[in-house]
Amino acid sequence: MNEGRQKTGPFYGWYVVAALFFSTFIVIGVRQGFGVFVESWEKDFGVTTTAVSVAAAIGWIVNGVSQPLFGALTDRLGARRVLIAGMLLMGIGTILVAASTSPLMLAVTYGFVVSFASGALSFTPAGALLSRWFVRRRGSAMSVLTVGGSVSGMIMIPFLAYFLLNASWQTVWLTIGVMMLVLGLPVLIVIVRSSPEDMNLLPDGDTESFEDGAGGRTARSTAAGPLTTNRWQQSFRSAPMWQLSAAYWVCGVTTASISVHFVRWASSEGISPGTAALAFGLLSGINAMGVLTVGSISDRMQRKNLLGMVYLVRGLAFVSLIVLPGGVALWAFAIIGGMSWLATVPLTTSLAADVYGVKKLGTLAGLINMAHQLGGGAAVIVFGRVFDRFGSYDLAFAGGAVFLLMAGITALSIREKRYSARFAPVSGPTVQAATVPVAAAGADGD
């Protein structure tokens, strides 16, 4: 065993996290900001809530189908290329949304172009990338990445609502597209690298390594678990893949419905869009703190227990929308929902990496995220139809609460100690570790 001298300064992996945080901030803002424009599109296009919801639903479905594709490309080509191409295409697509003159055009520009491109910038490639940069601190790194989405909701949603009060929706979408191309794209190009190997580093910034017997050195890491695989198809022969996917489907149902219909629900309760956007900002702010806390704790305890509790808490948030008066429900949902909103992301991706390894994590995460997005696409349409028919979202919210109870039970039933590599004995180099050339590692000294 050789031990290298630690380089001065922060581990470069944290710069990668920062770059992905920024790209996530922009992308999630576009995705979750859709709901801010629903009422404007209804008036401009002269259509119902359901008609506008179709464009969002197509977007969620297209995004879901794209996830395994971009996950496989991440495994094959590396996450950096996928992320850069995604930002370029999404920036162009966002500008094209500003030219939409009908629900059909909106469905094409947002539902297909923007939503497909956003799959390349989703937590699928980003999570797979960070799982290579971090092993021991995987949960913490994932949580920081996810906070980019929380901060986006806290800042971008109120910003978009305020911007819309002072400019046309076309101007808003044009501005966001330019931001992606001028700010987001250069950040990814300059900073992001697909793995620590690309910079002759070891995961987590480790300096202690093993000779691998083949002219390289390997990071001390977690052992391979019993389900660690080099073929993604094998994962479907075991329960955790189905449990994670089923629970994440419910996550998609509940997050998509709120991102599209929350502002519309508030309007039906006599609450202004600006106030609703502020409440969603509060939700996101609370969520940012919650995600960081959950991510840090998950590195020291079973992730499945935290994941189950997150789903159950979100279920309480949905119940609050039904049983409390509109004004009170708005803020109750923001506070209770904020404790759980994006906390599922680092827990789900990290748990998948712990159980199945990182070799095919891009594909596996893509498949799990596809379940999430397909659930979201269906929910967006169902929630819109429920509102158009009954003039209320109560029935839809009740369904969401029931699904969340089921998701919580499903997550808690995962046998993490049996299958996770984190609970397997460590003995030498492992399947999950990254390998760097001896000469490169030796640059740090022996």
- What is the distance between the alpha carbons of residues 295 and 345, in angstroms, rounded to a whole number? 10
Per-block mean pLDDT, blocks of 10 residues, the chain (446 long): 52 95 90 85 88 85 90 92 96 95 93 94 89 87 86 84 92 95 96 92 76 41 73 89 96 89 89 85 84 83 93 96 92 91 86 88 89 88 90 94 97 93 63 38 32
Please give the DSSP secondary-structure letter assigned to residue 428. Answer: S
Please give the DSSP secondary-structure letter assigned to residue 149. Answer: H
The confidence score (pLDDT) of residue 7 equals 53
* DSSP letter for each residue of 124-136: HHHHHHHHHH-ST
- What is the distance between the alpha carbons of residues 129 and 207, in angstroms, rounded to a whole number? 20
- What is the distance between the alpha carbons of residues 64 and 87, in angstroms, rounded to a whole number? 17
The confidence score (pLDDT) of residue 328 equals 94
Pairing of strands 435-437, 2-3: unpaired
- Sign of the torsion angle spanned by Cα atoms 75, 81, 86, 87: positive
The confidence score (pLDDT) of residue 446 equals 27
The amino acid that residue 147 corresponds to is V
106, two tokens: 């909106």
Domain boundaries, the chain: 13-422
Q: Which helix (H) or strand (E) holds 218?
A: strand 216-219
pTM score, two decimals? 0.73
Q: Which residues have CB under 8 Å from 62's CB, separation 6+?
A: 111, 112, 115, 116, 119
Please give the DSSP secondary-structure letter assigned to residue 221. Answer: -
Residue pair 193/11 in contact (Cβ under 8 Å)? The answer is: no
The confidence score (pLDDT) of residue 393 equals 93
Residue 4 burial (CB count, 10 A): 17
The confidence score (pLDDT) of residue 5 equals 41
Q: Which helix (H) or strand (E) holds 209?
A: strand 208-211
Phi, then psi, of 28 in degrees rounded to 5: -65, -35
Please give the DSSP secondary-structure letter assigned to residue 393. Answer: S
Tell me the three state secondary structure of residue 270. Answer: coil
Please give the DSSP secondary-structure letter assigned to residue 3. Answer: E
Phi, then psi, of 412 in degrees rounded to 5: -65, -25
Q: Which CATH class is domain 13-422?
A: mainly alpha
